[in-house]
Structure 1
Amino acid sequence: MSKKISLLLAGLVLAACSPKTYQVTNDSVVLTLKKNKDTQAGKIRVHVLQDELVHVSATPDADFPKDSSLIIVPGLKTVPFKVKDAKDSVEVATAKLKVKISKNDGGIQFRDNSGKLLLAEQQGGGKTFDPIEVEGKKAYSVKQIFNSPADESFFGLGQHQADEFNYKGKSEELFQYNTKVSVPFIVSNKNYGVLWDSYALSRFGDSRPYKQLSDVFKIYDKNGQPGSITGTYSSTDAGVQTIVRREPNIFFEDIKSIKALPQGFPLKHANVLYEGSIEANETGTYKFTLYYAGYMKVYVNNQLVVAERWRTAWNPNSYKFTFPLEAGKRVPLRIEWQPDGGVSYCGLRALEPQTDEEKNNQVWWSEMNNKMDYYFVYGNTMDEVIKGYRTLTGKSQVMPKWAMGYWQSRERYKTQDEIVGTLKEFRERKIPIDNIVLDWNYWNEDAWGSHEFDKARFPDPKGMVDDIHGLNAKMMISVWPKFYKTTEHFKEFDQKGWMYQQAIKDNVKDWVGPGYVGSFYDAYSSGARQLFWKQMYEHLYPLGIDAWWMDASEPNVLDCTDMEYRKELCGPTALGSSTQYFNAYALMNAEAIYDGQRSVDNNKRVFLLTRSGFAGLQRYSTATWSGDIATRWEDMKAQIAAGLNFSIAGVPYWTMDIGGFCVEDRYVAGQLAYDKDGKENADYKEWRELNARWFQFGAFAPLYRAHGQFPFREPWHIAPEGHDAYKSIVYYTNLRYRLMPYIYTLAGMTYFNDYTIMRPLVMDFGSDKKVENISDQFMFGPAFMVNPVYKYGARNREVYFPENANWYDFYTGQYITGGQKRTVDAPYGQIPLYIREGAIVPVGPEMQYTSEKPAENIVLYVYQGKDGDFTLYEDEGVNYNYEKGQFSRIGFHYNEAAGTLTIDAREGEFNGMLKNRTFTVVTVNKTAPKAFTFDAKGKTVTYNGTKQVISLK
């Protein structure tokens, strides 16, 4: 026998004798690992869902727990895959991916079918499992670290308020709170996404919680004494004595910790100064998080690192910053705080430089999971990645057409006459509007959750809704998952065990009148969800109400509590502890209404607006707004990044309170002074410009709505007719309606093409590295580049024109070559707006509401210079017949070389479809620039549904 044959036989014998470390099922490969520590994974499962979708599970236990996902839609069909066994790894291959699993440590690499590395878990697998027990349930705090190359960028994670965009090298704590909506999904510029399947408090980018200053630094007061910071509390009120004391930390962030503030000292007119110094124990970049209500500034090493920020006293905000420090070097710290209420909050916490293991890598951590679950989503473009996410979590519905129009809201319309009268004034002034909103407290003061109207203020609710419909508008109503314990609805839930009890036990009173005790229902119970809808169906649905505003859906049982008490207030849930099921309440609540309404009327599109959200929200025809944000220029700017990251996290419908919700006192005073003497004082002048700029931005959000506290947000309350602010608001509202053929097509694309309406530039110009950190410009569909103005008094702003595209100025038609940065004009009444070369933009007729008239004549702008396409989508606008194929498409194709526009034969049909119409084709090119006008003259084409080719030379 030859030596070669002997070695071969020996190898076969060894292979036959060694235990097999993995098993192959019809849809998965399960790998069993040798564990050196209890915190390591013992089993890894790679579950193939689609050629581009892979589900990874890991557990330190002998077997996987039998649980199911709240966010993944059931019934996904699996695809064939191949398994290749190597000496130290197992490879799972689909038509698009190769997933390599280490037999030694379970570490996973994801590659495309050419072998290019897309994502790799850190050496050793990057997984950690730390045991946790809550309410007798044993589970794990889990952490996963992926390697991340220096040139990677991350986008998504939902909507947060720190004005951050690209999360590379940054961190975000993922929980739900008023103004903060966490969606555990990121999209990488490396052609993949990761969906982290956990409902617990989670963190991205850094697994550590922020610490008190004294736990990170040696701290000194203003006299150099160690162990504290000096706090000086003074007041502008006569007779209030100044207090100077030593503060071990700056931590007054919730209703428990603010008790450490000087007792009896009035905060309303206070000026508080914290000063001293900090000394780092190691050299590096330190992370800080500032928690603030009222006015706040922060100086580190005598540098202003946080310019003045403001937030209303009852709804604080967080702002993050970093600062490099040297070990052993004392650095001055100064915090200037002007509280803005009798109760107010502030805090400053920090983190040491991150470990090499985590620094600049992709890190996920969650507080309580049965096992670790994440989904890898591959795509050649970010749109393809988002399509994969929606394959996993559900299609985005086509919103009703009226929802694409303008909505007017106020905190709040207090009577039936107020809401109907406001709508009448819109009609009289000929300002387009489709939806008017009735906010909270339409019930009797002591009957929150009754779903019954206060008869003194709303004597005829059905007549009110009928009047609104008679004025050709829709009505949305605020419905909370909150019930006072005296209401019959509370008792219905309570007798079934479906009310959270902690607020009742603690006699927690809200802010209304003398204060009433109530709590929230448990949306994690299927029976409770059905009852929630049943109560709405019996009391509100018969009135003909068109849409539902699901407020406080975090759930926010009580403002400004510490995290542990928040968990106590919203649990235990029907599925387990609120520690484990902390973030998905809004998803469950949305399911209640969506499934409920479709079960009783499958011919009327559901529309929900919710203050919170989670992965999968889009499948319930639900949009999210950014909560009770402030009325500051920096808050307006922060909404741009917030909306972009929420959109790229896979939920396409997002909106905000135009003008901000919580109003600075100076703006209120400015309005009152103006009402008294009719003179435009400085504060009211700024208020008008802020609103004009915010409306300009808002007209290009997926949903266009104004809402807020006093001063009122109706255009005529912001400024009189003829004022530049009024004229600008009315112009962009009319523009929104004239662009309805374009906008409603985008709505259709969210369902049929898994499209994203509000698009960070990185989605369309990913090859241009300069766009990866541009958070204040975005694409509104394929044609419009929107550039909000967010500085008071600014009459120009810097705009980057991405490369690989050229651009036209919307207002002049001027041609601009891509790949350059310019300072462009931004007059008071205009938002800088540019059209991409090759764009085809349909413009409809003047309308006061979206269903007023069909678009019999469409002005079709063709921005020449390169080939272009657009496919007009139309359906009935109000029902679900589009799911049955009842819709139409008309394709437009511009050929630059031939100078022709091809209008395809119409595809499909639906009830009420226009059989004949005209298109007025208007060309814009660099040698013949044209400003956009609503009713431009051009080449008229009569169209009856058959294909036509039009010469544009």
Structure 2
Amino acid sequence: MKLPIKTLLVGFFALVLVGSIVIISAQKPAPRGFTKLEDGVIVKVEKPYAGGAGNVKLQVVNDQIIHVSAAAGDTFSATASLMADPKKRNPAWKLEEKGDELILQTAVLRAIVSRSSGNVRFTDLKGQVILKEVPTAGRSFVKQKAGDKATYSISQSFESPEGEAWYGLGQHQQGLFNYRGTQVSLLQQNSEVAIPFMVSNRNYGLLWDNYSISRFGDCRPFEPLHTLSLTGADGSSGALTATYYSGKNADSVFLRRNEREIDYEFIQSLSKLPAGFPLQNGRVVWEGSVTSSFTGQHSFLFSSGGYLKYWLDGKLLVDKWRQCWNPITTLVQAKLEKAKKYPVKIEWIPDGGESYLAMKWLSPIPDSNRNTFSFWSEAGDNIDYYFVYGSNMDEIIAGYRELTGRATLLPNWAMGFWQSRERYKTQEELLSVVKEFRQRKIPLDNIVLDWFYWKPDQWGSHEFDASRFPNAENMIKDLHEKYNTHFMISVWPKFYTGTQHYDLFNEKGWLYKQNVLNNQKDWVGYVSTFYDAYNPQARELFWKLMNEKLYSKGVDAWWMDATEPDVLSNTNIEERKKLITPAVPGSSTSYFNSYALENAKGVYEGQRRTNALDRVFILTRSAYAGMQRYAAVTWSGDIGARWNDLQNQVAAGINFSLSGLPYWTSDIGGFSVEKRFENATGANLDEWRELMTRWYQFGAFCPIFRVHGQFPYREILHVAPADHPAYKSMLYYNQLRYRLMPYIYTLAAQTYHNNYTIMRPLVMDFPNDKAVLNIGDQYMFGPSLLVNPVYTYKARNRTLHLPANTGWYDFYTGVYQAGGQKINAAAAYERMPLYVREGSIVPMGPDLQYTGEKPADPVTLYVYTGKDAAFTLYEDEGTNYNYEKGAFANIPISWNEANKTLTIGKRSGSFPGMLNNRTFNIMWVSKTKALTQNNKPAATIRYQGESVSVTMK
């Protein structure tokens, strides 16, 4: 068949453009000042202000999502998005001209853009404003260079009414839940994860499509301390009095001097410390007073390793510890009056070798910005954001995943218990732990081998050190066949010079070389660097080597550590950029935050090419928008092990979940501990055991349940003897986790099939209860379980809120309480307060030692009456991808409160190995019928896939 020459030419030019970075020119506008596109419109701004946008593009993604792009000039960069899915959707929409405005309307939403200014607002179909850009100077483009490329620092501001709350934005360690009135730094580092997706309680979300260092909220940069008016302890002006001590005693003064700033944040800034000052054993105290030129809420931001205390006006506002080599950020706010002197004292005990401290501040938000928020990014050719609308937060999360990819379903064993340690040093040590778990009947599904299983000078070789792991393949075989345990291994994107794998990457030019040129040695003592994960060929080679050396031996899952990437810890930002200069997409300034996404992509796609059957499973220390499509779990990094660290993980986890990524976990017990816990006795041992117990209770109700940390060892048997309350409590929650597996695995399946979120802040399920807007230390685990972690030492009760418009049953006793009230709940050492929502069906399976031990039969259905209830029990093969092809089954279960009838409906779907005949035991829980220790089922149902009902008597 002959094709017209015009068709051939069109096809030729289309091929030329595929896979390339192209620039789309804003087509020459029609006299009306805009150009209609297949999916939206480009507006030539008639009256652009200085530093604003010259062109604005609106594209309809679907009924609930609008993509807004703004360009300073006449062109839009079409560089492919790393986070957004480019699939073609062909939504229905219409365009209307109305005076100065163009209105794009979908079935549920309007996006309205001004032709004169380019400003955008979003309304519902009744015209009620959902969100609008700040109309005057709301956009900003400031010319700069990123590497050798001209680009802009960019910002976009939005109006925000009083009472609006902001959530999501990744995982942060300040203990904040509602971010209104603060600044969120979107900068990847150990224990801080940047996800540029914000969710509002006004039922919309914003996905900021940018990969550079960014800020959200109040985006003004923090200022150095000396921009406050400082007075020393001796009354001198312009600085605080800094006293350096060579020891802990008051008479060990090393040096006293005046200091205008506290800036020892990075390796490079440690040179500012007094020469010869002994960080290992020293102490520093800054004293004097501060005076501000403003009245209102001031913010003080610390970055600290070691012990830090901060007093303002005699009040202790900060009391933190963090391992010296991995500083933590702490944000505190305090109201100050203009021109008033406030006494201040900062005490820092470095507690180790290289240790870090910095203090900055920010003045009150100006009145003109009080009801606004912004996104700011260091580098961007365009402003790019997606507005996501929904009737509830679940719909907003669904919109995020429509944009960035569906969350894959992890293998069922990933929902079980993982044991890990920093680190199992030998093959025998690792196997002996698993053997002991099985002998003691402590349920376990996954054992993790952390870093340094290789020879000392062979990081990146993926080779086991034969002197310590003489037969790794047999070790893995024993784990699988003898102990029914899965095996996860640590794989870093890091390579020592001189290794064969380093040479393979180096000869292709696929390594970041600056660290090697600097001859910079890591903490082990060798020179290393990371591979360029942005290069698709480099990703393929990375997987190829993992496959040849590890996956082929039977490794089940991957621990992708240091994926910020952490080439050199605690170096300053400019040096970090030099160390990670990408070879493929652009400058490190422009792509600073997204390394973990591309690294996970290579492993996920590589394993699926190698083995299309077994589910991929990745644990990663950093993440970015879109990570959920690569079977990735994120953990909260190398956190400390103090009670405030435990508290902070709750808010970190639920905000991470509201960022659209469903799988999150923390190191139970914290990663690093104070020296007093390392060989603890007496009161310190008592506190350590209680901290582990409380963290374990919380961890059992996280999407992923795992223990990890440095010395002391974190295995239950090393925490306490079997007759101790700590041991008993940890064993109880481990066993409970396995009994809840039918409930938990169903929730995991819903993350794939229905874009569900497992770890749910209360604002998701109780949006009309205004009391929950700022509650960041309670959450729902699925639709039914209200989790209330205890994070105070020796607490035997805790204040908590029972959300309104429903009643609540005590999980352990079945005792009923009305919602909409604050209570002081009992919190015995061995139990965390746990409540079940009225109108719930909670399925529980048999006791298990591992998820694959036996089918979930019988299943006990706990029916919490008082309201209608429903739960759909999901099952599939558990470890393969046949669920993507429809191989799964659902059993709908419902409770009718009016006629007191429970119905187990007709099963839909099937899969190989499915139980056709099964048993359901029924337990009624009502306001008048609590649980007892030896409750027996009220009814037993033999189920064969057809609908069957039973009435409560």
Superposition TM-score tier, normalisation by shorter sequence: over 0.9
SS at match of 2:77: coil
Deviation string 1:554-590 (CA, Å, 9 cap, x unpaired) is 0001111111111111113421111000001000000
304, 325, 345: which one aligns with 1:292? 304
1:328 shift after superposition: 2.2
> In the aligned structure 1, how far is the partner of 2:389 from the partner of 2:724?
51
Please say if 1:627 is aligned against 2:628.
Answer: no
Alignment correspondent of 1:689: 690
Change over 3 Å in CA distance of 1:65–1:35 after alignment to 2? farther
CA contact (8 A) 1:857 1:918 kept: yes
Please say if 1:578 is aligned against 2:588.
Answer: yes
> In the aligned structure 1, how far is the partner of 2:581 from the partner of 2:743?
45
> In the aligned structure 1, how far is the partner of 2:371 from the partner of 2:181?
4
SS at match of 2:597: helix
Q: Give runs of aligned pairs for residues 575-654 of structure 1, distance below 5 A.
A: 575-654=585-664
Please say if 1:223 is aligned against 2:234.
Answer: yes
Counterpart amino acid of residue 757 in structure 1: I
SS at match of 1:256: helix
Alignment correspondent of 2:85: 73
1:210 shift after superposition: 1.4
Change over 3 Å in CA distance of 1:496–1:35 after alignment to 2? farther
171, 174, 183: which one aligns with 1:159? 171
Alignment correspondent of 2:324: 313
Q: Give runs of aligned pairs for residues 672-687 of structure 1, distance below 5 A.
A: 674=681, 681-687=682-688
> In the aligned structure 2, how far is the partner of 1:33 from the partner of 1:212?
38
Alignment correspondent of 2:848: 847
Counterpart amino acid of residue 639 in structure 1: Q
Alignment correspondent of 1:447: 458
Change over 3 Å in CA distance of 1:748–1:762 after alignment to 2? same
Change over 3 Å in CA distance of 1:858–1:580 after alignment to 2? same
Change over 3 Å in CA distance of 1:91–1:653 after alignment to 2? same
> In the aligned structure 2, how far is the partner of 1:305 from the partner of 1:853?
52
Alignment correspondent of 1:14: none
Alignment correspondent of 2:537: 527
Please say if 1:497 is aligned against 2:490.
Answer: no
SS at match of 1:245: strand
Alignment correspondent of 1:915: 916
Counterpart amino acid of residue 478 in structure 2: D
> In the aligned structure 1, how far is the partner of 2:41 from the partner of 2:125?
19
Counterpart amino acid of residue 133 in structure 2: E
> In the aligned structure 1, how far is the partner of 2:371 from the partner of 2:516?
45
1:936 shift after superposition: 3.9
1:950 shift after superposition: 1.4
Counterpart amino acid of residue 418 in structure 2: W
CA contact (8 A) 2:243 2:253 kept: no
1:305 shift after superposition: 1.8
1:655 shift after superposition: 0.4
> In the aligned structure 1, how far is the partner of 2:933 from the partner of 2:950?
21
> In the aligned structure 1, how far is the partner of 2:338 from the partner of 2:762?
40
Q: Give runs of aligned pairs for residues 407-486 of structure 1, distance below 5 A.
A: 407-470=418-481, 471-486=483-498
CA contact (8 A) 1:35 1:41 kept: no
Counterpart amino acid of residue 250 in structure 1: I
Alignment correspondent of 2:20: none
1:751 shift after superposition: 0.4
15, 22, 29: which one aligns with 2:41? 29
Alignment correspondent of 1:940: 940
262, 267, 277: which one aligns with 2:289? 277
Change over 3 Å in CA distance of 1:18–1:575 after alignment to 2? closer
Q: Give runs of aligned pairs for residues 64-143 of structure 1, distance below 5 A.
A: 64-124=76-136, 126-143=138-155
Percent identity between matched residues is 51
Alignment correspondent of 1:837: 838
Alignment correspondent of 2:198: 186
SS at match of 1:465: helix
1:335 shift after superposition: 0.2
> In the aligned structure 2, how far is the partner of 1:492 from the partner of 1:667?
44
> In the aligned structure 2, how far is the partner of 1:555 from the partner of 1:786?
33
- Name stretches of at least 5 consecutive residues in structure 2 with no aligned partner: 1-28
1:358 shift after superposition: 3.1
Alignment correspondent of 1:733: 734
SS at match of 1:743: helix
1:360 shift after superposition: 4.1
Counterpart amino acid of residue 632 in structure 2: T
1:337 shift after superposition: 1.2
CA contact (8 A) 2:813 2:931 kept: yes
> In the aligned structure 1, how far is the partner of 2:112 from the partner of 2:875?
45
CA contact (8 A) 1:402 1:434 kept: yes
1:357 shift after superposition: 4.2
Change over 3 Å in CA distance of 1:36–1:123 after alignment to 2? closer
> In the aligned structure 2, how far is the partner of 1:430 from the partner of 1:920?
25
> In the aligned structure 1, how far is the partner of 2:749 from the partner of 2:526?
44
1:20 shift after superposition: 1.2
Change over 3 Å in CA distance of 1:797–1:181 after alignment to 2? same
> In the aligned structure 1, how far is the partner of 2:945 from the partner of 2:48?
70
1:37 shift after superposition: 4.2
SS at match of 1:193: strand
1:22 shift after superposition: 1.1
1:124 shift after superposition: 2.8
668, 685, 692: which one aligns with 2:678? 668
Counterpart amino acid of residue 864 in structure 2: Y
Alignment correspondent of 2:797: 796
TM-score (norm 1): 0.96
> In the aligned structure 2, how far is the partner of 1:860 from the partner of 1:375?
42
1:738 shift after superposition: 0.4
CA contact (8 A) 1:810 1:931 kept: no
> In the aligned structure 2, how far is the partner of 1:949 from the partner of 1:546?
42
Alignment correspondent of 1:560: 570
> In the aligned structure 2, how far is the partner of 1:580 from the partner of 1:309?
34
Count of residues in Structure 1 that have an aligned counterpart in Structure 2: 923
- Name stretches of at least 5 consecutive residues in structure 1 with no aligned partner: 1-16, 675-680
1:938 shift after superposition: 2.2
TM-score (norm 2): 0.96
Counterpart amino acid of residue 616 in structure 2: V
> In the aligned structure 2, how far is the partner of 1:810 from the partner of 1:237?
48
> In the aligned structure 2, how far is the partner of 1:936 from the partner of 1:167?
47
329, 333, 341: which one aligns with 2:340? 329
CA contact (8 A) 1:122 1:146 kept: yes
Alignment correspondent of 1:949: 949
SS at match of 1:523: coil
> In the aligned structure 2, how far is the partner of 1:707 from the partner of 1:816?
36
CA contact (8 A) 1:859 1:936 kept: no
> In the aligned structure 2, how far is the partner of 1:922 from the partner of 1:353?
55
Over the aligned positions, Cα root-mean-square deviation in angstroms equals: 1.4
1:267 shift after superposition: 2.0
1:157 shift after superposition: 0.3
> In the aligned structure 1, how far is the partner of 2:702 from the partner of 2:952?
33
CA contact (8 A) 2:48 2:54 kept: no
> In the aligned structure 1, how far is the partner of 2:511 from the partner of 2:72?
35
Deviation string 1:223-281 (CA, Å, 9 cap, x unpaired) is 12122211111133799652111112111111011111112121222221101122212
Counterpart amino acid of residue 774 in structure 1: I
1:285 shift after superposition: 2.2
Alignment correspondent of 2:23: none
> In the aligned structure 2, how far is the partner of 1:593 from the partner of 1:143?
34
SS at match of 1:605: coil
526, 549, 564: which one aligns with 1:516? 526
1:634 shift after superposition: 0.1
Counterpart amino acid of residue 80 in structure 1: A
227, 238, 248: which one aligns with 2:260? 248
> In the aligned structure 2, how far is the partner of 1:38 from the partner of 1:596?
48
Counterpart amino acid of residue 222 in structure 2: Y
1:35 shift after superposition: 4.5
